[in-house]
Amino acid sequence: MTTIQALRGTRDILPEETPLWQWVETVARDSLQRAAYREIRPPLIEQTDLFARGIGEATDVVGKEMYTFEDRGQRSITLRPEITAGLVRSLIEHKLTAQGGVQRLWHIGPAFRYERPQAGRQRQFHQLDVELIGSRDPRADAEVIALAHSLLQTLGLQSLTMDLNSVGDRHDRQRYREALVDFLTPYRADLDADSQDRLERNPLRILDSKDETTQAIVQTAPSLGDYLSDDSQRHFERVQQFLTNLAIPYQLNPRLVRGLDYYTHTAFEIQSADLGAQATVCGGGRYDGLVAQLGGPDAPAIGWAIGLERLTLLLKQLQNAPATSMDVYVVSRGEAAEAAALRLAHGLRQAGLAVEMDLSGAAFGKQFKRADRSGAAVCLILGDEEATQGTVQVKWLATGEQAAQSQGDLLANVDGLRSQILTAQQPQ
C-alpha cells in the first residue's frame, strides 16, 4: 500500500523542533503584552472577496497564489494568504473601534500561498502579526517598528538591517504610477514576462523584480520620493527622526514598495545578513485606507508580520535557541515497582517537575541508556527491593552519585530535589 506523505510545500514541525517554536512564541507574547498589545484569533478561512478587495486583485497573491475553492453552499472561500485583512474584517464586524482610542492587536498562526517551496518558505507558513489601528501619528509607526526590532534582538539576532521607504498616499502613488509607466513603456520588450504583465496591472511591483535586466532598467527610473506631497514628506521625516531618537538603524530604500496594494506611507523590511537570498525576517507598513475600504470607519493603521519558518531557520543556524532539559527520568522493573514509579512520576509532575517515565519494561541496562540520552539531571530507579521497602534509588546522571531515599520523603521534599536539579543543570 502506498504511504501518504505531507503535501509539497507543507512540513511537519517535529517534537525536537517544537521547543524552539514555543520559545519564540513565549518571548513574543511576553514582549507584546508588556506593550499593551492584545491577542486576537481570527479564522483561517474567509470569503474570497475579502482578499480581492483588501490585498488587491492585481497583486500576485490574489492573482496567482491563493488557495480558493467553492464550499457546499456555493460560496467562494479562501485559505488566508496573509493575516491583516482577516484581522481588519474581525475588527469591523465586532465594532472594536467603537471602544475608542487605539486598538493594539497581535495574532500568530498559519497562512497559505501556492508558491514554489524553498528553505524558509512553504505553502503553509506561519506568521506573527502585529497591528496598531486608530492613529495617524508618526509615533505609531516608530512604536511598531521598535517592537519588531526589539523582539528580534531579544531572540538573539544582532546582524540586523532595516530598509525604510514611504509609498505616500493614494494620490502620491497615482502620480508616481503614471510617471513610472511613462518611463518603462519604451523598455517593455526588455522587461521580464512578469514585469510586462505588471506594467498594465501593478507597475510599482516591477521595482521588486529579481530579474537582472529589469533591475538594471529600474535603477534609472523616477523615484517615488520625488512624488510625495508635503504632508507625506513631513510624516516620513518625523518617522525617521523618531527612529533615530530610539537608536534604531535604518537605510532609505526608494525601491521598497512591498507586495500588497493596501500599503500607504511608511513601508519597511528588517533583514538578517545570515539568511542569504531570503534575508527578510520582518516586513510591514502603514495601511491607512484598508479599514474603510473593507466597510469600516476611517481608521488609519500600521503593522508588520514576521515569518516564523525563516526566523526559526535563522535561530537554528545561529544555534541561538534555549537549551531544553528534562528534570527527572524514572526507570522501573517488576509489577510493584512499575506501579510505584507511576505514582512517583505523577506526584513529581504535579509538583512542577519535568518527568519522563520509561514504559519499556526492558532490562535496567537499556533503560539506563535511555536515561542518559534524555538529558535529565537525575534518574529514579525502582526494582523489587525498592518496591518492598518503599524506597527509591536517586542517581545523579552527571556524576554517577547514587543513594537510597524513602519514596514518601522524596515527594514531601520536592523543593529540595528541585534545588538540587537546578544546581546540576548549571553549566560547569
pLDDT tens per residue across all 428 residues of the chain: 889 999 999 999 999 899 999 999 999 999 999 999 999 999 999 999 999 888 877 677 887 899 999 999 999 999 999 999 999 999 999 999 887 789 999 999 999 999 888 877 899 999 999 999 999 999 999 999 999 999 999 998 878 899 999 999 888 888 988 888 888 888 888 888 888 888 877 788 788 777 888 888 888 888 888 889 999 999 999 999 999 999 999 999 988 876 566 788 999 999 988 665 557 899 999 999 899 999 999 999 999 999 999 999 889 888 766 666 789 999 999 999 999 999 999 999 999 999 999 999 999 999 999 999 998 999 999 999 999 999 999 999 999 999 999 999 999 999 999 999 998 887 75
CATH-assigned architecture of domain 328-425? 3-Layer(aba) Sandwich (3.40)
**CATH number of the domain located at residue range(s) 18-169+229-317 in this protein:** 3.30.930.10
DSSP letters for 370-424: HHHHHT-SEEEEE-HHHHHHTEEEEEETTT--EEEEEHHHHHHTHHHHHHHHHHH
- Report yes or no: 229 and 170 within 8 Å, Cβ to Cβ: no
Q: How far apart are CA 156 and CA 151, in angstroms?
A: 9
Query: What residue spans in the chain does CATH classification 3.30.930.10 cover?
Result: 18-169+229-317
- Indicate left, alpha or beta for 338 from its phi (over 0: left) and psi (-120 to 50: alpha): alpha
Q: What's the whole-model pTM score?
A: 0.85
pLDDT at 246: 96
- What is the reported pLDDT for 275? 60
For residue 101, give the C-alpha cell. Answer: 482610542
The per-residue pLDDT for 278 is 53
CATH 3.40.50.800 domain locations along the chain: 328-425
> What is the pLDDT at residue 98?
82
Q: Over the Cα atoms of the chain, what is R_g?
A: 28
Cβ contact 386:335 at 8 Å: no
Q: How many CA atoms lie within 13 A of 244 on its CB side?
A: 8
pLDDT at 97: 85
DSSP 53: I
Detail the DSSP E strand segments found in 8-159: 38-39, 45-47, 67-70, 76-79, 103-112, 124-133
Three-class SS of residue 171? helix
Using DSSP, state whether 206 is helix, strand or coil.
Answer: helix
